[in-house]
Structure 1
């Protein structure tokens, strides 16, 4: 009889029998303590800042993405342990794994993953985690569905939930469906947070990249009351003459 092959580590990695501990071990094995201070400053973890108290291991995004592909078979109960980690990179990795699972799951079976994301939205608590997960886990899921959840999130007192609301619409923008981006942007015109101003301006710019008239129509109506940062982000790619026109129209 031929000898049975012993499963390799690669084959075992990330399967249904994997545990959260396996993922955490993998991440921490490549942690770079020298990067922790830099990351902590970059993501504003000081007292009173938006990322106050967040902890870092010193792992770069490309490495996290690579690990996520290896562990896409991780069961949701184990994934739950990762997305609630105190460490920023582990939370981000957990949502990368969720996105990998989402991509490999038939559309009719994606609801469970979408609901898991919503249930754990409190751990989507910095701009990079929002930007690298919400477009897929909310935006892509809602492409052919009612979008009421976005209008609930945009009214939230939580900065990150409001950012989720606008960034999720990027999935619609890519399909040349702009109505929700424009409506949510209107709802956020008076928002006080700079990270919301940047996000709205970014999404308006993405609209303009596909349909300049739709964006300029919006700006003609709202530029005079848009926060300066929001406006600058929105018109960043405009021809110089057009950009100056809107900068003059914007509020001081």
Structure 2
């Protein structure tokens, strides 16, 4: 391969997002008012559910365990147990990309964890190659924004990035080249 070929990113090689995914992903472009209100209500409900399981004592312990000062500077921990976050995520079903995007950008660690868990669940329950590509692309985009701590990476990277790339050597090669260059 030529140098120009190697410079192309895996995302350029991968199929483009569907119209539906683009509209969800780019929801900031002229969002529907009712959708925006509904999203705020859902986000508020998620925050309330997580807050109801929060523990200040556990948050203090988690701050040290997760090394928030080193890795996730600025993170606010609620002190919610991971099984409780999983239960809340499961009760919500698959969230829209716009809601997941908001959660991943949250200052609350557990909201980002819930988003990551939801994305992993969505990926594991999807069979359609185009949908898998959509989820992969969304995750890679959002990973740079809010997947900022080792536990979030451990909860998702092997299950989304690893599983997606394992049988796609061309995309994997370009993606790894981009990361190492």
Verify same fold: TM over 0.5: yes
1:88 aligns with 2:139: no
Distance 2:101 2:71 in 1: 24
Structure with the bigger percentage of helix: 2
Q: Which residue of 2 aligns with 1:34?
A: 57
What's the counterpart of residue 51 of structure 1? 72
Distance 1:24 1:150 in 2: 36
Q: In the TM superposition, what are the counterparts of 1:94-105 in structure 2 within 5 Å? A: 94-105=115-126
Correspondence for 1:128: 151
Q: Is the 8 A contact 2:74 2:107 kept in 1?
A: no
Correspondence 1:106 to 2:138: no
Kindly state the Cα deviation for residue 101 of structure 1 after the two structures are TM-superposed.
1.1
Runs of 4+ in 1 over 3 A off after TM superposition: none
Q: Deviations over 1:202-221 (max 9, x none)?
A: xxxxxxxxxxxxxxxxxxxx
Instruction: Answer with 1 or 2: which has the greater Rg.
Output: 1
Q: CA deviation at 1:72?
A: 2.8
Partner of 1:150: 176
Deviation at 1:44, TM superposition (A): 1.8
Q: Which has the higher contact order (CA 8 A, sep 6+)?
A: 2
- Report the aligned-residue RMSD: 2.1
Structure 1: segments with no counterpart, 5+ residues: 1-15, 157-252
TM-superposition CA deviations, 1:103-128 (whole Å, max 9, x none): 22223221111111011112111111
Q: Distance between the aligned counterparts of 1:143 and 1:107, measured in 2?
A: 16
List aligned pairs for 1:1-252, cutoff 5 A.
19-46=42-69, 49-108=70-129, 109-122=131-144, 123-145=146-168, 146-147=171-172, 148-153=174-179, 155=180
CA distance in 2, matches of 1:64, 1:150: 31
Inter-partner Cα distance in structure 2 for 1:121 and 1:79: 12
Give TM-score scaled by structure 2 length: 0.69
CA contact (8 A) 2:77 2:110 kept: yes
